[in-house]
Amino acid sequence: MASPQGLKAPLEFGGPLGAAALMLLLPATALHLLLAARSGPARLLGPPAHLPGLSELWNPRVLLLLLTWLGLQAALYLLPARKVAEGLELKDKSRLRYPINGFQALMLTALLVGLGISAGLPLGALSEVLLPLAFVATLTTFIFSFLLYMKAQVAPASGLAPGGNSGNLIYDFFMGRELNPRIGFFDFKYFCELRPGLIGWVLINLALLLQETELRGSPSLAMWLVNGFQLLYVGDALWYEEAVLTTMDITHDGFGFMLAFGDLVWVPFTYSLQAQFLLYHPQPLGLPRALLICFINAVGYYIFRGANSQKNTFRQNPSDPSIAGLETIPTATGKRLLVSGWWGMVRHPNYLGDLIMALAWSLPCGVSHLLPYFYFFYFAALLVHREARDELQCLQKYGRAWHEYCQRVPYRIVPYIY
């Protein structure tokens, strides 16, 4: 297949070989983590204590459950929204429109789940089918990514993503060919980014909390903290849903296996690892340590929200009074870069806050096992890699001005360290 003209971009993730390896490694890791969390030794490294047979993985009723969930979230997406926002300008100078109703979808889901539980819905039982659920979600993602790949064959050249059109089938399937695949108003990437996976994550956490209550009479303090912190994170993402429209995922990356798997499998099933671990490995947690962990999470959230809001305000309305005193430098594109405030401390203060929160989510699980810290280590690696990708794009966009910014703000994520 020939590459569309002007779409050649340097290969990322180790090219086709790296993409193929990741498509095997990521699902295997997700299943390994699910198995490890419920096993006695809960080992992060080394083979799982038990290898599941196909009968433990494949369950048509679980597939039906997944499809019902996706259908429900799609229906909530199509409900009237409090606001319809415009995305950034595309190559053909047009702008796409997006419904801002993710928080509404979270609230309506909570209402439906609450009604279901009071009518006897055994939500806690969801914790027992996480393994087959992750398996069918992975299969569904492969099929979905194939359909997205096929859909891109008929997309106009202006709608293709620069990174996912190398001409290599495996690489392009992984990276995603089309930037914003849609049917009418329904935007598949935008829908998957923040809804079924993110809301699914807190629902799985809740199911684990209910199951713990069933097993031990009441949820542990550690389980409350993990549920509370992660609900705050998901609620925040959906409350500030519009901010996703300027992220790399929406503006730069095509929609293929990488993002679809991340959104639909990786997030709900591996980000709920701490709650999964706590269900099978209860951890004592005293009030003083719990308060210290809450403080760490609050610091992380304060930095994360402050940095993200400052940049979003600056990009949306540079003359907003809340950012009036901040120093900026011009770039050749006409846009300016912040060099004081949060963005004068390090070049990615939002990543720093996010990482501090990641640590706070693991700490309630104690220090006896490495497994609940998986998210922290994985996330640190993801953010270092993501920062490098963003740095390259900013260098291409802003050239000399970006060099100046790097000189003025030499540290990337952690002040005086990295």
DSSP 8-state class, residue 53: P
CA distance to 68, 148, 186, 187, 240, per residue, from 182 (Å): 21, 10, 5, 4, 22
Among 304, 361, 373, 376, binds ligand NDP (CB under 6 A): 304
User: Residue 77, exposed/middle/buried by CB under 10 A (0-12, 13-18, 19+)?
Assistant: buried
CB of 399 to ligand NDP, least distance (A): 13
Q: Give the CA distances from residue 121 to residues 124, 207, 211, 259, 330, in Å, rounded to whole numbers and listed in that order.
A: 9, 11, 13, 32, 57
Q: Looking at 386, 395, 408, 411, which residue binds ligand NDP (CB under 6 A)?
A: 386
394 in contact with ligand NDP (CB under 6 A)? yes
Tell me which of 311, 363, 365, 413 binds ligand NDP, using CB under 6 A.
Answer: 311
> Is 187 near ligand NDP (CB under 6 A)?
no
DSSP string, 306-360: HHHHHHHHHHH-TT-GGGTT--EEE-TTS-EEE-STHHHH-S-HHHHHHHHHHHH
Among residues 190, 191, 261, 343, which is the contact residue for ligand NDP, using CB under 6 A? Answer: 343
Nearer to ligand NDP, 132 or 256 (CB): 256
What is the three-class DSSP state of 243?
A: helix
CA distances (Å), 11 to each of 26, 182, 382, in order? 19, 25, 17
Give 241 or 390: the residue with its C-beta nearer to ligand NDP.
390
Rg (CA), the chain: 22
Cα–Cα distance between 309 and 224 in angstroms, integer?
27
Closest approach, Cβ 342 to ligand NDP, in A, equals: 9
Q: What are phi and psi of 338, to 5 degrees?
A: -75, 135
Rule CB under 6 A: say whether 338 interacts with ligand NDP.
yes
Q: What span, in angstroms and rounded, lies between the C-alpha atoms of 273 and 372?
A: 6
Q: Tell me whether residue 212 or residue 263 sits nearer to ligand NDP (CB atom).
A: 263
Shortest distance (Å) from residue 246 CB to ligand NDP: 6
Whether 195 contacts 103, CB under 8 Å: no
Q: Which is nearer to ligand NDP, 191 or 351 (CB)?
A: 351
Q: How far is the CB of 323 from ligand NDP (least distance, A)?
A: 10
315 is a contact residue toward ligand NDP (CB under 6 A): yes
> Which one of the spans 53-61, 134-142, 168-176, 343-351 is the region binding ligand NDP (CB under 6 A)?
343-351
Q: Which of 274, 326, 354, 362 binds ligand NDP (CB under 6 A)?
A: 354
Q: Which stretch binds ligand NDP (CB under 6 A): 20-28, 177-185, 189-197, 307-315?
A: 307-315
Q: Out of 232, 335, 345, 370, point to the residue binding ligand NDP (CB under 6 A).
A: 335
Place of tokens 């810290």: 373
CB of 386 to ligand NDP, least distance (A): 5
What is the contact surface with ligand NDP in residues (CB under 6 A)? 247-248, 304, 308, 311, 314-315, 335, 337-338, 343, 348, 350-351, 354, 386, 390, 393-394, 405
